[in-house]
């Protein structure tokens, strides 16, 4: 019996050591990429128009499903504005539906009355429709800037696959040992090991599924702002100076209008202030004035007596 337990324990240890091969550093079910991410950012200096990706290749959809291809996650972030907020929003939603994408999150701020609405969208786009979706977004409004990033997770993906293969082999060996167990204690020990292996299998399977989804579906963040006039892009220095003068005059007129509106709002306070000042002036005028006392007459200084001849002081030697 002791020899049987020793053999089972040795088999379990060997299986655990074999499963450790090809393991990756993990924490809380996450994964860490071992290759630096390729990133690219640029400004889009034109009015509404198509936006082309500078990172995603034409065959990105085939590469996402090919097991031997590089596993790359593509992300993009756009900032845009529009004078017709509702029309632009509808165009964006149409682009989402037309390209097989879906909204992961959305936020709306501001009111239509104040014309200060903004919207934040996080869209998950199939990598095969990534370029077409960016072009449709560019046609929907005025794109101010766009940034893209590409993260290569091939190494992490291969490591997770190796870990899954090792765990599956360990599970098969433990099942074989469970069939050969002769005592209840041996069977319970093997089932405990099987439970741990199964938990790790499920954990790494979720990680692999998450990687596949991120590779297959790119993330595009869109910020949309409602404006009265579009921000000029690609203008000359003289045009910028003219816009600055026009903006300064508009700001001055807006200040005067705001001041008049504020005075209209505050007319009760101003009326009360005028009444208070009028009463204080009346009260001040009715107060008795203090009589001024006459100044005391000044006595002339005593006249100096003339010096008689012979009374001059004698010099001392």
For residue range 49-66, what is the model confidence (pLDDT) as tens digits? 556 666 666 656 665 556
243, 244, 250, 256: CA torsion to nearest 10: -170
Share of the chain above pLDDT 90, in %: 38
Distance (Å, rounded) from C-alpha 74 to C-alpha 58?
13
The whole-number pLDDT of residue 69 equals 77
Q: Residue 145 gets which letter from DSSP?
A: E
Most confident of 21-30, 182-191, 194-203, 254-263: 194-203
Confidence class for position 95, pLDDT limits 50, 70, 90:
very high
Higher pLDDT, 210 or 263: 210
Cβ neighbourhood burial of 152 (10 Å; 0-12, 13-18, 19+): middle
Of 25-29, 247-251, 289-293, 298-302, highest mean pLDDT = 247-251
Q: What is the secondary structure of 61-99 as a DSSP string? A: HHHHH-TTS--EEEEEEEEEEESSHHHHHHHHHHHHHHT
Of 300 and 171, more confident: 171
pLDDT in tens, 112-145: 888 889 999 999 999 999 999 999 999 998 999 9
Q: What pLDDT is attached to residue 267?
A: 81
Between residues 175 and 10, which one has the greater pLDDT?
A: 175
Is 48 within 8 Å of 141 (Cβ atoms)?
Answer: yes
Give residue 248's pLDDT band: very low, low, confident or very high (50, 70, 90). Answer: confident
Whether 11 has a pLDDT exceeding 60, the answer reads no
For the chain, the first-to-last Cα distance in angstroms comes to: 145
Query: Percent of the chain at pLDDT above 70?
Result: 65
For residue range 97-114, what is the model confidence (pLDDT) as tens digits? 999 999 999 999 998 888
Q: Which residue has the higher pLDDT, 229 or 297?
A: 229
Instruction: Output the furthest CA–CA distance in the chain (Å, rounded).
Output: 157
- CA 191, distance to chain mean position in Å, is 48
* Residue 184 pLDDT > 50: yes
Residue 23: pLDDT band (50, 70, 90) is very low
Q: 7-11, 17-21, 97-101, 306-310: which range is least confident on average?
A: 17-21
pLDDT at position 9 is: 52
Dist CA 230 CA 233 (whole Å): 9
The CA-based angle 104-115-260, given to 5 degrees, is 150
CA distances from 301 to 123, 280, 298 (A): 104, 49, 9
Enumerate residues 6+ apart whose C-beta is below 8 A from 277: none
Angstrom distances, CA of residue 272 to CA of 265, 269, 276: 14, 5, 6
Q: Which ranges constitute the DSSP H helices of the chain?
A: 2-20, 60-65, 85-98, 130-140, 154-180, 184-216, 237-265, 267-286
The residues near 94 (Cβ < 8 Å, ≥ 6 apart) are 136
Whole-model pTM: value is 0.56
Interval 258-306: pLDDT, tens: 888 887 888 888 888 888 888 888 777 776 666 565 666 666 555 555 5
Structure tokens of 127?
């990598």
What CA–CA distance (Å, rounded) separates 38 from 57? 14
């Amino acid at each position: 019996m002791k020899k049987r337990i020793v053999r089972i324990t040795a088999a379990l240890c060997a299986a655990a050591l074999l499963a450790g091969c090809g393991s990756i550093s993990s924490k809380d079910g996450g994964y860490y990429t071992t290759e630096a991410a390729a990133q690219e950012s640029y400004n889009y200096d034109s009015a509404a128009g198509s936006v082309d990706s500078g990172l995603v290749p034409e065959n990105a959809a085939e590469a996402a499903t090919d097991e031997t291809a590089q596993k790359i996650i593509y992300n993009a972030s756009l900032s845009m504005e529009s004078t017709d907020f509702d029309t632009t929003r509808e165009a964006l939603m149409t682009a989402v539906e037309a390209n097989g994408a879906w909204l992961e999150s959305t936020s709306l701020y501001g009111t239509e009355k104040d014309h200060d609405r903004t919207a934040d969208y996080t869209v998950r786009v199939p990598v095969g429709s990534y370029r077409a979706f960016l072009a449709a977004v560019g046609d929907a409004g005025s794109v101010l800037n766009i940034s893209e990033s590409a993260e290569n997770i091939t190494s992490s993906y291969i490591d997770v696959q190796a870990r899954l293969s090792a765990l599956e082999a360990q599970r098969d060996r433990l099942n074989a040992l469970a069939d050969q167990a002769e005592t209840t204690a041996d069977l319970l020990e093997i089932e405990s090991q099987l439970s741990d292996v199964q938990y790790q299998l499920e954990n790494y399977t979720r990680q692999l599924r998450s990687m596949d989804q991120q590779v297959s579906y790119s993330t595009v963040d869109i910020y949309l702002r409602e404006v009265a006039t579009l921000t000029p892009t690609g203008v000359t220095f003289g045009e910028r100076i003219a816009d600055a003068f026009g903006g300064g005059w508009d700001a001055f007129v807006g200040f005067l209008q705001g001041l008049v509106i504020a005075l209209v709002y505050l007319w009760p306070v101003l009326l009360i202030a005028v009444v208070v000042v009028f009463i204080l002036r009346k009260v001040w005028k009715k107060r008795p004035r203090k009589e001024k006392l006459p100044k005391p007459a000044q006595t002339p200084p005593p006249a100096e007596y003339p010096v008689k001849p012979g009374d001059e002081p004698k010099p001392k030697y």
